[in-house]
Amino acid sequence: MANKIGWNFINSYSRLPKPFYTMLDPDPVRAPKLAVLNRPFAKELGLDAEALSAEDGVAALAGNRVPEGAAPLAQAYAGHQFGHFAMLGDGRAILLGEHISPDGRRVDIQLKGPGRTPYSRGGDGRAALGPMLREYIISEAMHALGIPTTRSLAVVETGEPVYRETELPGAILTRVAASHIRVGTFQFAAGRGEIDDLRALADYTIERHYPEIESGENKYLSLLKEVIKRQARLISKWQLVGFIHGVMNTDNMTISGETIDYGPCAFMDTYDPATVFSSIDREGRYAYGNQPYIGAWNLARFAETLLPLLHDDEEEALKIANEAISGFPKQFQKYWLDGMREKLGLTNEETGDETLVGDLLNLMEKYRADYTNTFRALTFDRLEDLVFYGKDEFAKWHSRWQERLGRQKDLKEDSRELMRRSNPAVIPRNHRVEEALDAAVKKGDYSVMEKLLAALSEPYAHSPGQEEYCKPPEPTGQPYRTFCGT
């Protein structure tokens, strides 16, 4: 089967010290049926989509058969969940192994929902079809938007029910990641107090994700700085498209800099920094406007785990870590402002740019403007589509923006092209995602999801066929809420 499908597994994670994982096979399911397969991605990974769709391939995606060369395991990690520390682990996920693609890229192949593990903490280890399809849609949309992310290879229906508030159809998602090493993995190592294990994890992480720093003077400080840089860039990209992760626990922050865990996430329609979608985030800890601050908080927790490796003297180690973490806000602000300049067609830098951007956002918040469509209207000079069109304060802002554009050497059309490349026409709007999930889960109709995925696959195309997916939802008296799926 391995030769036919194209699996090319290595299992380097299992060479880490034993506390970091538990070897175990997935639990078989009753009647696996392929729901959706990411054929272009399969080809990119060097996998045969037809073979994956056949009985043996589906059996592997369902956990009923372990592919040749795989060495399944559940990973241990810890994490701060809504600020409270806990020892955790893969409660409903099993890593089959690391697959090497034809271009030499190493990626984790993980099954999400394949049964109980030693870290399930009373859970059933299973997943429902709706949340797995949701992760498939959102993660692939994020990839198309150019945002570092785990990706989805397939979803398989299990033929078995799972029980949450109600009985739901079960499913297993095949998730692909640069790795599943998290801030929480380092917290697990540090929490056990075994310095040799912590060093082994740090060395493995550097070898896997940051080999260029391996020969540096203080490679563990370099690791901290590289992770800070990647997270500053990642979270700025979230902010630029209005993405709200929803559960930024430290176990959901990857060391690779990829977005992971698409449980209660959603995209913002109306611009409001206080926007929260998650049903369990009652205090707004992970609101849209808080994401950069939570990112810094999580990175401070990561820095704490590295203290024994940064310097033998504890006070000196703390000083080194604080100095590194203090650079996050400036890095984030630069990535974010550079991205906002691109969204407004600004090809150079001026000191007043941050004020120009801030004033536009204030207008959007005041008039409850749609975030994505505001930038889209500015891109195509369709000012009449703006909710604040005709307002004196917008006219003044627009005049300032035009004057700013006029001071650039680039042609006006160059600025427009930059805006077209930086402002998506479509995002996975919540009502459209729910529409697709409802059709698939309740009616077995995947055509709605397929059409949505096609529109989301080229978010910067601005094609006529995308128009229907650009419309915000009709006003309702009820706020949109998302759930973690467990």
Find which of 214-223, 270-279, 328-337 is predicted with most confidence, using mean pLDDT: 328-337
Q: pLDDT for 131-166, tens place per residue? A: 999 999 999 999 999 999 999 999 999 999 999 889
CA separation (Å) from 396 to 359, 365, 412?
10, 17, 20
- Report the mean per-residue pLDDT for the chain: 95
Handedness of CA 217, 221, 223, 227 (dihedral sign): negative
- pTM assigned to the model: 0.95
Nearest 5°: the CA angle 424, 427, 433 is 165
Q: pLDDT for 461-486, tens place per residue? A: 999 999 999 999 887 656 666 665 54
Average pLDDT over residues 410-421: 94
pLDDT at 283 (0 to 100): 85
pLDDT at 337 (0 to 100): 98
With 0-12 CB in 10 A as exposed, 13-18 as middle and 19+ as buried, what is 329? middle
Active site residue 251: yes
pLDDT above 60 for 402: yes
Average pLDDT over residues 213-225: 94
Range with lowest mean pLDDT among 252-256, 278-282, 320-324, 441-445: 278-282
For residue 206, give the DSSP letter: H
CA separation (Å) from 325 to 3, 118, 201, 248, 295?
46, 34, 21, 18, 11
pLDDT at 484 (0 to 100): 55
pLDDT above 60 for 2: no
The residue assigned the tokens 């054929």 is: 39
Q: pLDDT for 342-394, tens place per residue? A: 999 999 999 999 999 999 999 999 999 999 999 999 999 999 999 999 999 99
Q: CA 362 to CA 355: how far, in whole Å? A: 10
Q: Helix H segments across 326-370?
A: 328-343, 353-366
Q: pLDDT for 76-110, tens place per residue? A: 999 998 889 999 999 999 999 999 999 999 999 99
Under a CB-based contact definition with an 8 Å cutoff, are residues 439 and 448 in contact? yes
Contacts of 416 (CB under 8 A, 6+ apart): 345, 379
- Active-site residue, selected from the candidate residues 251, 269, 281, 370: 251
pLDDT above 50 for 1: no
Query: By three-state DSSP, how is residue 153 classified?
Result: strand
pLDDT at 480 (0 to 100): 62
Under a CB-based contact definition with an 8 Å cutoff, are residues 138 and 264 in contact? no
pLDDT above 60 for 52: yes
Q: Report which of residues 46 and 476 the model is more confident about.
A: 46
Q: CA 25 to CA 97: how far, in whole Å? A: 12
Contacts of 383 (CB under 8 A, 6+ apart): 377, 389, 398
pLDDT at 127 (0 to 100): 97
Contacts of 163 (CB under 8 A, 6+ apart): 124
Q: CA 449 to CA 392: how far, in whole Å? A: 42
Nearest to 175 by CA among 367, 308, 369, 38: 38
